[in-house]
Structure 1
Amino acid sequence: MSLTPEQKKHFRTLGHNLNPIVMVAGNGLSENIQLEVDRALEDHELIKVKFSVGDRTVKKNMIRELCAIVEAELVQEIGNIALLYRAAQDPNPKLSNLMR
């Protein structure tokens, strides 16, 4: 599932006004964090995740690992914030950040 440049641009525009839903601390990607990100992606489709990790390479590896685990696409990474997208199986128009 690869996003086109037009889709990424549109998702970045929508994600600009979003607040981070999940915060990941330096102790790694626990099972609870993975489940919460998975649930948030199923509800909202487009979410921001904040990483509070000191090392840049560790942060990039955590983002890649999280995207692989929850089967999401990385739209954008700025500083400590990652914008993730995954299409919902049954999107709810009241919760989805794409349908509002």
Structure 2
Amino acid sequence: MLTGKQRSFLKGIANTEKAITQIGKAGITDSFIEQLDLALEAREIVKVNILETSLLDTKETANKVADILEAEFVQSIGNKFVIYRKSKNNPKIQLPKS
């Protein structure tokens, strides 16, 4: 679980990031999860865009994806959400202590 301070820190990082992937009509597919898993390992923090055609709820989808990938939900704004997972092999982001 992320603390409020850690979540705020990650929001600041995510603010400058662009969405690197998107969820469309097909919803959450295996290939999407694979792609996101690789992106999280490489970047640790990922912003995802949900297309309007998918008709998915942003926060609900973000929490579902985070559960599948064993990641932490950071925030959702509009049709975008941000998730974080510490890299197993090459951690880059140093979270502040509580």
TM bucket normalised to smaller: 0.7 to 0.9
**CA distance, structure 2, for counterparts of residue 72 and residue 15 of structure 1:** 15
SS at match of 2:20: strand
Cα deviation code 1:61-95 (max 9, x no counterpart): 32222111111111010001101100010116xxx
Please list every run of 5 or more consecutive structure 2 residues that lacks an aligned counterpart in the other structure: none
**CA distance, structure 2, for counterparts of residue 87 and residue 15 of structure 1:** 15
**CA distance, structure 1, for counterparts of residue 82 and residue 61 of structure 2:** 13
Partner of 1:64: 63
Q: How many residues align?
A: 93
Sequence identity percentage: 26
Superposition pairs of residues 1-100 of structure 1, within 5 angstroms? 2-53=1-52, 55=55, 58-91=57-90, 96=92, 98=93
SS at match of 2:22: strand
Name the TM-score, length of structure 1 as normaliser: 0.83
Q: State the Cα RMSD in Å.
A: 1.7
1:60 CA drift (Å) = 3.2
Please list every run of 5 or more consecutive structure 1 residues that lacks an aligned counterpart in the other structure: none
Return the letter of the residue paired with 2:62. Answer: I
Name the TM-score, length of structure 2 as normaliser: 0.85
Moved over 4 A (4+): none
